[in-house]
Amino acid sequence: MLDNQSSTPESIHRRAVRCRPSLPKDPPPSLPQHLTQRRRKTTTTRRQEAGRLASASGPACGGGGGGDSGGDSGVAMTAAVADYYAGKSVLITGGTGFMGKVLVEKLLRSCPSVKVLYLLVRPKAGQSMQQRVSDMMKCKLFERVREEDPDFHQKIVGVSSELTQPGLALSPQDVEMLSACINIVFHCAATIRFDAPLKQALQLNVVATQQLLGLARKMQHLEAFIHMSTAYANCNRHHIDEVIYPPPVEPTKLIESLSWMDDSIVRDITPRLIGDRPNTYTYTKALAEYVVQQEQGNLNIGIIRPSIVGASWQEPFPGWIDNFNGPSGVFIAAGKGILRTMRANNDAVADLIPVDVVINLTLAAGWYTAVHRPKTALVYNCTTGGINPFHWGEIGMCNITTFLNSHILHTKCFPGTILIYTHPPPEYHVMSTFKRNPLEQAFRRPNANITSNYLINQYWMLVSHKFPALIYDLYLRLSGQQPQMMRIFNRLHKAIGLLEYFSNQDWEWKSDNMSMLLNQLTLEDRKTFNFDVRQLNWPEYIENYCIGTKKYVLNEEMSDIPVARQHLRKLRNIRYTFNTLLLVFIWRVFIARSQMARNIWYFVVSLCFKFLSYFRASSTLNN
């Protein structure tokens, strides 16, 4: 339905412009004027500070990270990012996870002179720490690094650790080794499960961070500690600045209180504890930021807040992704034809951020934190919504309001104002990509409807999800197979339900520190560590994202696309046949037996015919 605003040509034009994000065709390689002016103003100050720091003496390893904040550093401010990491020993938590792997790959490829990367890794699923590190290095993600340096694995050292255990389960020898050589710490480990029990989320997101900070204070040459948070840590606020907000409860007191409580009691009081936050993930991430601030001491701290992290934009190659989390699972479900409806606000910003953008910002922030030593922890809101927005309505098929606002033209023609279609209805990015590059063995043809109306969404879930699942499971039972579709749909509904909070509202993130950091980089560093999201072309990125899920998550070959297209044509023919039989059935059972039903049917058909004739005549007259 059209909204309540006036349907004048001017209002339609204004709404059409509003609903489309402004994406520059040829983004300028340089910064905008206001950032360039800021750079000029700070040039003299930076040169003076660089001269002062260059004359200061320091240890050869760039140590003294435990000194007072704002003190002199042995690192020259004029050093490029890659040059800064040369000869450094880096500690990474969460190094075998999605973002951790991209961080490791980027350091090895763009900072080839980095000395060693220590990864805190725990044994998992019957695999030892060494096996997990070895399997990670065999990943396709490291192909470019492997070509440039076949011996890159020698720079990666796994350290057995369990972040949920006292002392991080580190041996005394490992503690001594890390304390003596580490220069930079990147803390990326966290539980990202939205529905994780509060105790578990608190232990990994808060207590582990607290213990890692304790270890960092023992490090003799530490220069920077970078903590990976989330832009939704303070999602109970509409406007989010680059500051650490007071927590809803003192973390230490909460940890002590929950330590003696039974799990069932904690589960019962969790909704009251998290308050107006949607889940334990965002709640514990907010507490972790406060812990970092409280226990900073003399450490040089930086906090990165990415929004919804998605596939890579450019590095090491477009569209790399290795998991079903977040939008990836939604895209795959839509491409398989399983997802047909999703509750989201079409006009709300889907604040996706490519993983390589986050990692580039993280490495640049590590350099800036070590070189400039800010007196307080700097927070970087790593988001796209306020700079280069992408909307949820652009994921699926365009709804009628968006279609009318964006793809029709008001023209004066007798006997009044009519609507002239300028071009066919659009197929938005995800659906159109999967129709050109279909997934193998799709359940149905890709076709998703996005609506913000709860009742409409429930109707489509019943008609497009549950009924087909029941019919298919009945077929499986009759053929002697185990039914599975209803279980798949139940898992899908649970996953999408967890996303509804984020897909139905907007946030405003301030990103001054992100702009400032970009302004501090040299032209060469802006190319090597690019996090300027103004250059991001959303249609191209989403297409690469969808193809990435096909190639890297589902491990499907692009050479098999003709077979997948043939399968889609088969599904289309089945759908047409089913709809024809259904129409014949309805006619025979309902319409052919009732004179009133026949009259209504003939009236609707004649009305449609007259409308099409009038529309054709009006279009001909207009031409």
Distance, in Å, from the CA atom of 246 to the CA atom of 618, rounded to the nearest integer, reads 63
pLDDT of residue 622: 59
pLDDT (tens digit, 9 = 90+) per residue, 41-57? 343 443 344 333 333 33
Of 112, 134, 124, the C-alpha closest to 189 is 124
User: Do residues 110 and 82 make contact, with C-beta atoms less than 8 angstroms apart?
Assistant: yes
Distance, in Å, from the CA atom of 315 to the CA atom of 104, rounded to the nearest integer, reads 12
CATH of 9-392+503-556, one of 3.40.50.720, 1.20.1250.20, 3.30.70.20, 1.10.10.2160: 3.40.50.720
Is the confidence at residue 412, as pLDDT, over 70?
no
> What is the torsion angle, in degrees rounded to the nearest 10, for the CA atoms of residue 136, residue 95, residue 307 and residue 233?
140
Percent of the chain with pLDDT over 90: 42
pLDDT of residue 594: 73
pLDDT of residue 319: 92
Q: Give the residue extent of every domain in the chain.
A: 9-392+503-556
pLDDT of residue 413: 41
- pLDDT interval class at 417 (50, 70, 90): very low
Is the confidence at residue 169, as pLDDT, over 80?
yes
Q: Which of the pair, 317 or 622, is modelled with greater confidence? A: 317
Mean pLDDT for the chain overall = 80
Of 515, 518, 527, the C-alpha closest to 367 is 518
Is the confidence at residue 400, as pLDDT, over 70?
no
User: Do residues 302 and 380 make contact, with C-beta atoms less than 8 angstroms apart?
Assistant: yes
pLDDT of residue 98: 92
pLDDT (tens digit, 9 = 90+) per residue, 68-121? 333 333 443 444 899 999 999 999 999 889 999 999 999 999 999 999 999 999
- pLDDT interval class at 615 (50, 70, 90): low
pLDDT (tens digit, 9 = 90+) per residue, 199-258? 999 999 999 999 999 999 999 999 999 999 999 999 999 999 999 999 888 998 998 888
Distance, in Å, from the CA atom of 16 to the CA atom of 454, rounded to the nearest integer, reads 25
Could you identify the residue written with the tokens 């951020």? Answer: 353
pLDDT (tens digit, 9 = 90+) per residue, 292-311? 999 888 999 999 999 999 99
Average pLDDT (337-348) is: 89
Of 266, 125, 127, 292, the C-alpha closest to 208 is 292
pLDDT of residue 409: 41
pLDDT of residue 177: 94
Is the confidence at residue 580, as pLDDT, over 70?
yes
Q: In 231-372, which residue ranges form alpha helices assigned H by DSSP?
A: 251-259, 263-274, 280-294, 327-335, 355-372
Backbone angles phi and psi of 443, in degrees to 5: -75, -40
pLDDT of residue 592: 66
pTM over cut 0.75: yes
pLDDT of residue 621: 58
Distance, in Å, from the CA atom of 464 to the CA atom of 448, rounded to the nearest integer, reads 10
- pLDDT interval class at 135 (50, 70, 90): confident
Half-sphere exposure of 255 (CA within 13 A, CB side): 17
Sort strands 89-93 and 352-354 into parallel, antiparallel or unpaired: unpaired
Which of 285-289, 428-432, 460-464, 561-565 is predicted most confidently?
285-289
User: Do residues 447 and 340 make contact, with C-beta atoms less than 8 angstroms apart?
Assistant: yes
- pLDDT interval class at 618 (50, 70, 90): low
Percent of the chain with pLDDT over 70: 80
pLDDT of residue 589: 72
pLDDT of residue 619: 58
Q: In 157-279, which residue ranges form alpha helices assigned H by DSSP?
A: 172-181, 198-202, 208-216, 251-259, 263-274
pLDDT (tens digit, 9 = 90+) per residue, 484-518? 889 999 988 888 888 889 988 889 999 999 999 99
Four-residue CA torsion sign, 23, 310, 82, 374: positive
